[in-house]
Amino acid sequence: MKLKITTLLILVLLSVYFGYAQTPNSPVGGGEFVFNAEKYPCLTDDQRTSIKEELKNNVDELQLQNKLATSIKGRRGSHPLFIWPIQKANGVTFNDVWSISGYVDHNVNFPDQLTDFNCGTQTYDTNDGYNHQGVDIYTWPFTWKLMDENSVEIIAAADGQIIAKNDGEFDRSCSFNNNVWNAIYVQHADGSVAWYGHMKNGSLSTKNIGDTVTQGEYLGIVGSSGNSTGPHLHFEVYTDVSYTQLVDPFAGTCNNMNTDSWWANQIPYTNSNINAVMTHSQAPDVFPTCPTTETTYESNEFDISEDIYLSAFLRDQIADTPLALKVIRPDGSYLYDWSINTTTTASSWYYYWFFSVDAVGAWTWEVTYEGQTVTHNFNVTNALSVEDETLENTSIYPNPFTDVVNINSKNKIMKASIINVLGKTVLKFEENTIVGIKALNLSHLSKGMYFIRLEGTNIETKIIKLIKK
């Protein structure tokens, strides 16, 4: 026990001395994620015209077939009150999964003459005269990973009837193009119509044109089909099937299209949030080349000898506001308790740090921002910090290896465990013969670094680093 404690102390001191443990003042890395920095429109003029013609024709056909919902025929009642059209899929552990890149542009002039419903400039226009006509809700963080894993669902904002849908289109667009999007179009009881665009290929509801949907019902997965620079939902609303009157569902001083909100509970214009708090084995790859899926390197299991990367992903970060951070030991005491002041206003931003820790057990990573606290638990073991000299006459060869590892020892080796770099045991071997374990076939292991833990007849142990080439 004394030797283990001494070994641990040396590891911690070396970590601090060589700079592996960072002082918790500034983050090691991070930055802003800017969605659609090029300000590409979600539809070309021809595409929007074609969609409107298709929707009118479909409504006429449904009416001829006496399949148009009765409440829509008469367009009775006031406009619907929407719920938010994005939700996390079951099992998603992130605190939240979206942010907004652009609202409807109420300034008809261009270019770069912008006015959103709140008299701000969180919208866009183009040199060709396009003013953004919907709400763009993108996934955050790890936008492509969320799409690949079907983590962010599009749901019906209100009850209605499907009057058109399109599926089967390419869904990994990264720039402006003439691609057609996957979409569903829902008409409501008052005759208004909501467009849900850029869906993931093959994810759309199996319901057909003419079928009804209820508020909150699954419609599809957020994707990047059509004119798109990454996974997001383009949500566009019109007052009726003539499509002459665009609706901005957000109420605000500069909304010159409609005076009242179309949301049951309108979200704040600045909606600061902690979308995710995570731990990683190394710095996450947040901004790979589009449309490459991000590599998160997420892990919740660590050895005490490892550096642990801790991250925080924010929505609607406000410049010069405090971000409070804590790394909490298993006994409830703080290894680190500090705060930083944000320096930038951004719709999405992330930070990461890395530290060494000094105890085994269940740790907590805690982040507090704008009145919200999110915690993330991770576990630390000492599987690799064990006495490694009790089998001092034991070695392995070849190392690096390709398929088979041979064990050379004056002691009889009874057990062997293969441990990956996250401290997890991935293989176990046990042998009760007279000669013990002499060789291991590890041909099916992936390339990379591992540790082999050998155990003798008297529970002597030795850990050796392995490289699979």
pLDDT tens digits, 364-388: 999 999 999 999 999 998 865 544 4
pLDDT of 134 over the 90 cut: yes
Instruction: Starting at the earlier edge strand, list the strands of the sheet with 218-221.
Output: 86-88, 152-155, 218-221
**Distance (Å, whole) CA 82 – CA 84:** 6
Rounded Cα gap, residues 212 and 263, in angstroms:
20
pLDDT for the residue numbered 464: 87
**Entry pTM:** 0.79
Domains and CATH numbers, the chain: 2-30+272-381 (2.60.40.1930), 45-247 (2.70.70.10), 395-468 (2.60.40.1930)
- Average pLDDT on 169-174 reads 97
The mean pLDDT of 249-259, rounded to a whole number, is 96
pLDDT value of position 216: 98
H or E stretch covering 49: helix 45-64
SS3 13: helix
pLDDT digits (tens, 9 = 90+) for 402-420: 899 999 888 889 999 998 8
Query: What is the rounded distance in angstroms from the CA atom of residue 236 to the CA atom of residue 133?
Result: 7
Q: What is the pLDDT of residue 71?
A: 62
Alpha carbon distances (Å) from 397 to 5, 363, 394, 403 = 31, 37, 10, 11
* Contact residues for 392 (Cβ-Cβ < 8 A; gap 6+): 462
Q: Quote the CA–CA distance of 291 and 282 in Å, as a whole number.
A: 22
Residue 100's pLDDT band, with cuts at 50, 70 and 90, is: very high
Q: At residue 217, does pLDDT exceed 80?
A: yes
Please report the pLDDT score of residue 24 as a whole number: 65
Judged against a pLDDT cut of 90, whether residue 356 lies above it is answered with: no
